[in-house]
Chain A
Amino acid sequence: MATTNEKNRILEVDDLHVSFKTYAGEVQAVRGVTFHLDKGEVLAIVGESGCGKSVTAQTIMRLVPTPPSFIKKGSIVFNEKEDIVKLSERQMQRVRGSEMGMIFQDPMTSLNPTMTVGKQISESLIKHQGMSKSQAMSRSLEMLRLVGISNPEGRLKQYPHELSGGMRQRVMIAIALACSPKLLIADEPTTALDVTIQAQIIELMQELKEKTESSIIMITHDLGVVAEMADRVIVMYAGKIVEEGTLDEIFYESRHPYTWGLLRSVPRLDAENKSDLVPIPGTPPDLFAPPKGCAFADRCPYAMKVCLDNDPEKFVVKGEHRAACWLCHPDAPKVERPVETGGAV
């Protein structure tokens, strides 16, 4: 890992394993995830449903209920001091909402329907910053203005059901940012929204990022949103990171066949000719009993014998660009990145 700008490291996740205990056995949702986040950075975590991206993010906030989940192994160092994994629920409450904020996917269900918007934003201000009710209300008003809600005075007294989806997402962003957290986790923040509203919310998040200097972890499956917002990208598959690198490295120089597959399976709006989409055949593996070798091997067109028996380590491609694929081994046969991947139309 790069050690040059250790000072600015907000988050350091090391070898994180998270499992769920169920009647059918143990689901290994996250199986050894290591990454870091620097100050002011936007890190995107991409992958399909069930790849462990949301569990990873929620574990950073310690929001996954225990039981059934438990952190098997690993550490999450926040702010270079505390290991989140070791904190008690009480200690965690101090961090959550004040130093870390979260935006959830579904603005319809993640706000409290029985509380006014103003009260919901004030809640964390009163708890964490010791503000009085009236101080907190005036700060809430400021927050509503900041996230671009029209008629903020009126909205303060309204309930979530009186607002549209886009408005509710803005309220959620206001709540998450109220205490100026160092880390903002956005779990599919635009997935439930229409595209014209999505564009508004992305613009808002970009603006706020400049203003507040928060670091952002953004979880999404939309590669378009990634291309628009992220500085660095982590690609997850079956509970592991299969590739990580800068935005351009992932889109133009990716090394992992799963990353290629993801990039080739979405049509591009600006494509001139209609080439066939290249789907990834098959379905992800069962995480009750993850395969011994590479989890992607049975869907991978380039799978070799070694892939079935041995899980690949992370190979350094260049700098911080790493890929967990045996094709990156010096002795592996040379495979060209499919031309239509990413950049080329």
Chain B
Amino acid sequence: MADNQYILEVQDMKKHFNIGGKKLKAVDGITFGVRKGETLGIVGESGCGKSTAGKTIIGLYDITGGDVLFHGKSIKNMNTKDRRAYSRNMQMVFQDPYASLNPRMTVGDVIAEGIDIHGLAKNRAERTNRVQELLDAVGLNAEHAGRFPHEFSGGQRQRIGIARALAIQPEFIVADEPISALDVSVQAQVINLFQKLQKERGLTYLFIAHDLAMVKHISDRIGVMYLGKMMELTTSAKLYAKPLHPYTRSLLSAIPIPDPEVERTRERIILQGEVPSPMNPPSGCPFRTRCPHAMDVCAKTMPPMKEIEEGHFAACHLY
């Protein structure tokens, strides 16, 4: 599915960790592309490898196998200069706004760190201006620059995290569960901010979260992961209207909808059991142990990702 319009191509990417002599296959061969200006959502339950995927793409982890191409250029074996250029265009917003801001730095310094590293401001005045612009863009006051992170609420801290990611004007932002630590009314504020910034600056997002309703709301396309593998990938409308993979179907049906009338009539697929340990995944398709449609072949081979309909990929022996 290599396509020229993709600015980011992830090709059979693998990230394995060595734990006590055993291999933990956190991400085990996932392939997808992200087009300029779009939001690709990645959903899955804890331990499915979605955060590891994000961190491997951005270079926080070394890639074990496969490749990641950004504008057609591999991120493997980059020299210092290439790596610096890459990190200028690719930034991350982290999950926990309490842990991801240095408590001993002022907000202004937190935001300007990237500007300093990449030498993007000629003098102090320009640096201050940039910080103030960024604070303004994320809905904070310019005078907040002199304060410390502990003086802010969770939602405000996440805005600071976003301002930091934007500071060096990247093209691409990886957002790893950026709203899951926030209260519902504040989640909506931050999501609207993400969308506003995308419109204004033409940003491309990889949006990683477990809240499928929120991911569906913000994403153009969604990839569903389970135990290190990509199970299904399609537009967010299609994923909801016509989910192909049994895992996607059960995931959708497990999410309660805030509408009592809908809830009274909805049919549920309740999965039995739990996600197997990634240290000891099932043979073949990792979902087969909980899959209501599991067949003999599922235990033997992992089904390849196939394009079932135009732009709708699924990895399942049913198709």
Residues of A within 8 A of B (CB): 48-49, 164, 166-167, 194-200, 202-203, 221-228, 247-248, 251-252, 261-271, 274, 276-281, 283, 342-343
Contact = CB atoms under 8 A, between A and B. Distances in A.
B192 A279 contact: yes
A214 B166 CA distance: 52
A200 B271 CA distance: 8
A269 B240 contact: yes
Given A194-B46, A265-B185, A274-B217, A222 B256 contact: yes
Given A48-B185, A227-B256, 13 more contacts: A164-B274, A196-B270, A199-B270, A225-B256, A226-B258, A252-B260, A262-B185, A264-B188, A266-B258, A267-B217, A274-B217, A280-B185, A283-B153
Given A265-B187, A269-B216, A269-B255, A203 B192 contact: no
Contact of A221 (B183, B191, B210, B257): B183
A48 B189 CA distance: 14
A195 B255 contact: yes
Contacts of A223: 184, 258
Contacts of B253: 199
Contact of B213 (A166, A266, A342): A266
Interface stretch (B28-36, B104-112, B261-269): B261-269
Nearest to B187: A265
Contacts of A342: 258-259
Interface residues of B, number: 40
A266 B254 contact: no
Chain B interface, DSSP helix/strand/loop, else mixed: helix
Contacts of A280: 185, 188-189
Contacts of B250: 196
A224 B256 contact: yes
Contact of A195 (B45, B187, B217): B45
Contacts of A194: 45-46, 210, 275
7 contacts: A48-B184, A167-B274, A199-B256, A203-B270, A226-B258, A251-B258, A269-B252
A294 to B, nearest CB: 17
B78 interface: no
B214 interface: yes
Contact of A281 (B189, B195, B270): B189
Contacts of A48: 183-186
A275 to B, nearest CB: 9
Interface in B151-171: 153, 155
